[in-house]
Structure 1
Amino acid sequence: MPIYAVTYTYTDDSAARDAVRPAHRDFLGVLIEQGINLVSGPFAEAEAPGALLLFRAADKQSALAATEKDPFRLNGLVSDVSVREWIPVLGPLADQLS
C-alpha cells in the first residue's frame, strides 16, 4: 500500500495547541494501532509551525480522510493540509516500510 507524506501547517494559536495536544496524540496513536500512521511529529521550533505525518493509505483521498477527525483539525488549529505520495527508496526507514 502506498505511503503519503501529510503536512500540517498550524495556526499561530500555540496555547490552544498545547491544550488539545493530548487528544491529538491519542488520535494519532489510534491511527498507529490501525497501521495508518507510520510516524509523525512536529517541525522544530525554528521552523514554521506544523508537522509531518507519514501515512499508509490506499490513495491521497484516504490519507486526507484519516486526518479529518484529528482534534487539531476539529479545533481549527491546522490552517493547511497537503498530501503527497512518497516512495522510500534508500535507508533503514525505506527497508522497514517496503
Structure 2
Amino acid sequence: MKTFVLTYVYITDDWRRLNVRDRHVHYLRRLTDTGSLLVAGRLADGQPPGAILVLLAESWDDARVVIEADPFVTEGIVAAWTLVEWLPALGLLAPGFDTEASQPGDVDRNKTDERAASPE
C-alpha cells in the first residue's frame, strides 16, 4: 500500500457544506473501518476552508476513485483537490521507519548495538 496526502479546498458556502457534512463524515468513517483512511481533519479557523486527509491505496488511480466517491466531491463542496504520494519516514504514523536507514545500502538501525547494551 502507498500513502497519499490529499488536500481539499472547500467552497465558501458554509450552509451547503453543513448540509452534506453528515454523509461526508459517514463516508470517511467507512474508509477508516476498511483501513483506507489514516487521518483526516479540517483546516483551523483563519485559513481558507479545506481539509487534509492521509489515505492508503494501491495506486494514485485507486486513491482518485476514493476521492471521487466522497460526498463532498460529488456534491461540489470541494472546489479543488490535490493528491500526492507521501513517504512517511518519522513520527507516530511511521513506526519503524528511519530516513537514514531507508537509504539504499544503509545498515539496519533497528539492530541493538551489543556494546551499548552490555553493562560495563
TM-score norm. by structure 1 comes to 0.92
> How far has the Cα of 1:64 moved from its partner?
1.4
Larger Rg: 2
How far apart are 1:96 and its partner, in Å?
7.8
Q: How many residues align?
A: 97
Task: Flag the 1:15–1:62 CA change in 2: closer, same or farther, 3 A.
Answer: same
* Larger RCO (alpha carbons 8 Å, 6+ apart): 1
Taking only the aligned residue pairs, the percentage that are identical comes to 36
Could you tell me which amino acid in structure 2 is paired with residue 74 of structure 1?
A: T
Q: What is the match of residue 38 of structure 2?
A: 38
For 1:1-51, what per-residue CA distance to the aligned partner results, in whole angstroms no more than 9, with x for missing partners? 110001111011111111111110000111111111111010101111111
Corresponding residue for residue 67 of structure 2: 67
> What letter corresponds to residue 27 of structure 2 in structure 1?
F
User: 2:79 maps to which residue?
Assistant: 79
**Alpha-carbon distance, 1:62 to partner:** 1.0
**Aligned residue runs from structure 1 range 1-98, under 5 A:** 1-95=1-95
**Unaligned segments of structure 2, at least 5 residues:** 98-120
CA spacing shift, 1:96–1:17, aligned 2, 3 Å:
farther
Q: CA RMSD in A?
A: 1.5
Structure 1 moving runs of 4+ over 2 Å = none
